Structure formats: C-alpha cells, structure tokens
Amino acid sequence: MDDDDELSGMLSELLVREGYRVDTQNDGRRGLSAALNGGYDLLVLDVMLPGIDGFEILKRIRRESRIPIMMLTARGEDEDRIVGLELGADDYLPKPFNTRELVARVKAIMRRLEERNPGGKLEVNGITIDPGTRDVLREGTPVEVTTFEFDILETLMRSAGRVVSRDQLMEELYGRKATPFDRSVDMHISHLRRKLEGEKPLIKTVRGVGYQYVRSPDEAVTP
C-alpha cells in the first residue's frame, strides 16, 4: 500500500518477475479492506496514505490478523519506526530505499514462511506453542502473537537454556545481519515479554550477545 503510483508499479513489476502475485492500493480505506479480505501472505504498508494513515491501518489489521507487515517510513524518522513496531509491524524500511533491498526483504520473509516446519507441540516453563496451528498458551490460557513474534518465541524455546545471538535471530528471521540501529528483534522481544511474563522472567537479555529463554529449575538443558 503506497500512494506513489510510480514506486508501486516498479515494485510490482520486480516482485512479479520473482514469481509473486501482487496487488497494489494507493488509498488507505480501500487498502485496509483489501488487506482484511484478500487472503494475502505479506503486506508492505506506507505510513503516509490518504484516507487512513498506515499506523491506523496497522492497528486495525492487528486486531484480526497475524499477516506479516513491513512498514515504509521516512528516513530519519526513528519515532515512526518505533511506533510501527510497537503497533505490531514485523519489519520496516526507511525511504528512500533501493527497490532491490525491498525485494530482498520480501523474499526473505516469504522464504521463512514457506520453510515452516510444523512439528509437535513444545512446552517450556509454563509456555506451550503448537507450530502446526501457531497457537501460544500461557499456563493454559491462549495468547495472541504475531507471525514474527511466534517465530522468535519458537526459536528461543527450542534453544531454551542457551543464548541465541541477536545476529542469529536476524539472519534466521529476516535473512540479513543485525545493525546497531535495527530495533526489530528487540521490539518483538519486548512485546513477547509483555504478553507472556508475569512474576517470573522468561526471556533474559544477555548484554552484548543476545537472548536466552529461561527454563524452570526442574527442566534440564539437553546437550
């Protein structure tokens, strides 16, 4: 969704060449309706749109859908990026950007979605996840998480008791290396903590390294 017809056309052409089916919308209201009813796998959403802005669209979509969302923000507007991530965006790209960079990010996200391996349920320290249904339970109570929040949680839980580096998470989930100013993973971790943690911490920050999902004292770390 972008009100720049020239940019939308260029991106559509590049993505179609890569084998994707693409729809474009340049109006916020029509775009929101399409996003909620079109059965899409990924949404690229500009902040500045006529009708309804990108932040409002993001909020409304997140009430009903886990679809991966990449926000397009003005370069230098750190606040926009943080707000977007706080509202549930999975990734962001500042404008102006190289169109090849956006295509590469889209391909990385789509590849991650296609490589999902359902497997069986996993339960660690009071949290249960089901990769098949992508459901999350906290002490038996359902918790709503986004697509990328689930993927991060699953990655950390499968390595419970060990530290997973920030670089490893970025490479696995986004297909790129972490930079000092990229807050994507950090914000998703913050959201997971807010949704899952009560009195006991579940995700520990290992400063300068990464994150560790905490096992309960009676759960042994497997070699």
Residues 41, 18 share a domain: yes
Whether residue 161 sits in one domain with residue 102: no
3-state secondary structure of 195: helix
How many domains does the structure of the chain reveal?
A: 2
Q: Which of 60, 80, 114 is the last residue of a domain?
A: 114
Are 88 and 152 contained in the same domain? no
Higher-confidence residue: 1 or 23? Answer: 23
Q: Could you tell me if 11 and 90 lie in one domain? A: yes
Q: How confident is the model at residue 223 (pLDDT cuts 50, 70, 90)?
A: very low
For 175-194, the DSSP string reads SS---TT--HHHHHHHHHHH
CATH number of 152's domain: 1.10.10.10
Angle between helices 184-196 and 78-87 (to 10 degrees): 40
Domain, as residue range, for 10? 5-114
Strand partners, 163: 212
Residue 81, SS3 per DSSP: helix
Answer yes or no: do 140 and 183 share one domain: yes
Query: Do 146 and 106 belong together in one domain?
Result: no
- pLDDT tens for residues 58-115? 999 998 888 899 988 875 567 777 888 888 888 888 888 888 888 888 888 888 777 7
Same domain, 53 and 12: yes
Cβ pair 61, 69 in contact under 8 A: yes
What is the distance between the alpha carbons of residues 188 and 183, in angstroms, rounded to a whole number? 9
Whole-structure pTM over 0.85, yes or no?
no
pLDDT confidence bin for 150, thresholds 50/70/90: very high
Residues 44-68: tens digit of each pLDDT? 998 888 888 889 999 999 988 888 9
Q: Do the domain assignments include residue 219?
A: no
**Domain annotation covers residue 221:** no
